[in-house]
Structure 1
């Protein structure tokens, strides 16, 4: 389940935007800064992609296509051969293409080589020919029974779901470095979210969740139990209840912290002298 999410609005004549839901990314946004959550999930303001983000998307796309091949065909050479076609598909987005001055850009070759290196690390972590993948890059949408009878909508994308002799396993690819000391809680939050979503979707606690960090070749595993996941569900219920209390009046205040240095919306933040756009109201409800 990848944390990458788009924040674009539909154009004229398109279906209205779907109501927000909780994902690991959006839940983390709200807990870190309610205004950031609003700008991403409610206003859906676009954010320019970075080279690192697009590299992650590229690697995920290659691995998705790799698992569409037969087990014996899932080789490093096949993965490298998929880089070009997957990049061409991504570069159809002008915002992605604008990251480089065309294929002749010297930085493009270095960047593409770094994506190939991530794929090589993937093959060092596991043998895809021995994997029984039943779902790849699959959207999961479930409802968590919340307090007072209100359901908590959960959404996410499973990078891969394996269901074989070793049990039910959720696998997530990370193209960044393994989090350092002090950031483990964010990883555990994400893992529990994945496990709970699978439990609600399949009625079964996954036997294992595995994070594969392709930057430094680290694999992290987590084996959940039902009681732990139900307690975590109460935390998500509390987060969603706080969001819904803030929604009618748009009461999403900023909360400053170290992440402000890299925030795409700092110029709209009152904490930094900016002004947010007019609150559009909660999608699907009167403002």
Structure 2
């Protein structure tokens, strides 16, 4: 599940999330692992880091390519820096609180205890990601920070109206998953929570700190969950009984019970998507796809749609197929 944990404003109500916050907080951790595996030099090395073609796919990176192939390139190939956002950072904070709460005995998993975890988890987040400090650099009196933390507490408190953590004993929290398909494609990500019933039935749960999408966009919201269900199915040979999205921003719970046919469709979609990514990687043909989401993108200075120039392409290229690649048209089913 790779940065944005929170959907700023109305972003979850549309077909895709703004570029600046599309990465899920858990997917960010998964991508860190991927980057470490896909580089051949360390930061301490005086030589430039060797950029290698992508070798795996997470839900967020798949979403990036479907939203805009050039955005995928900027994040995965060029690894351009992005500024932290208040919305995504608050989502990361809330996720950390909900995970840590399960360290307490069931009877002590209360709303006041969860809210009390917020300041400490914020301190830990600042230590692990010092760049978030810049979010409130222009707030010397701490008033905006106080409101931001209060909103995080409100989201944590709302969770207790949607689920009862005293009745839950997760089998896994922040579970890193990785599976290699028969095609050789590696899928990876981090699942917020996995519940396993005494009968062996598996439920995959994901927390969203934004608002639930409109019904016509529900399928897009479930893409990430079906991605995780596919990975779990390939790893454990068990189709999850239920996929559950908990929207703390609006107080909604979206559920879906997948079947094998669902996961087979997702696998076919991912294989087609990966073929398009490989073609773009080999040819260097990463086409921008302008949408209203461009307004949230950190990379306008490098985007031709805004008069910018992408960095020099760091990978070898071959001639594009004159028949035309359809990678620029890849989108949700």
Pair in the same fold by TM > 0.5: yes
Is structure 2 residue 190 aligned with structure 1 residue 153?
A: no
Q: Does the 8 Å CA contact 1:195/1:205 hold for their aligned counterparts?
A: yes
Q: Secondary structure at the match of 1:177?
A: coil
Distance in 1 (CA, whole Å) between partners of 2:71 and 2:55 is 14
Aligned equivalent of 1:111: 148
Q: Does 1:278 pair with 2:312?
A: yes
Q: Which residue of 1 aligns with 2:159?
A: 122
| Cα distance in 1 for residues equivalent to 2:308 and 2:119 | 41
Give per-residue Cα distances to partners, 1:163-202, cap 9 Å, x unaligned.
1247210000000111125422311222211211111121
State yes or no: 1:12 paired with 2:53: no
User: Could you tell me how far apart the structure 1 residues matched to 2:140 and 2:250 are?
Assistant: 27
Q: CA RMSD in A?
A: 2.1
- TM norm structure 2: 0.78
What residue is the counterpart of 2:288 in the other structure? Answer: 254
Shift of 1:17: 7.3
Does the Cα contact within 8 Å between 1:20 and 1:42 map onto a contact in 2?
Answer: no
Residue among 99, 107, 129 paired with 2:135: 99
Q: Aligned residue for 2:56? A: 21
> Are the structure 2 counterparts of residues 158 and 76 from structure 1 closer, same or farther at C-alpha, using a change threshold of 3 Å?
same
* Cα displacement (A) at 1:269: 0.5
TM-score (norm 1): 0.90
Mapping for residues 152-231 of structure 1, pairs under 5 Å: 152-165=185-198, 167-231=201-265
Listed as ranges, the gaps of 5+ residues in structure 1 are 283-287
The structure where strand makes up a greater share of residues is 1
Q: Which residue of 2 aligns with 1:285?
A: none
Q: Which runs of 4+ in 1 moved over 3 A?
A: 5-10, 13-20, 101-104
1:240-259 Cα shifts (integer Å, max 9, x gaps): 01111111232111111111
- The count of residues paired between Structure 1 and Structure 2 equals 278
**1:89 and 1:16 mapped to 2: Cα distance?**
31
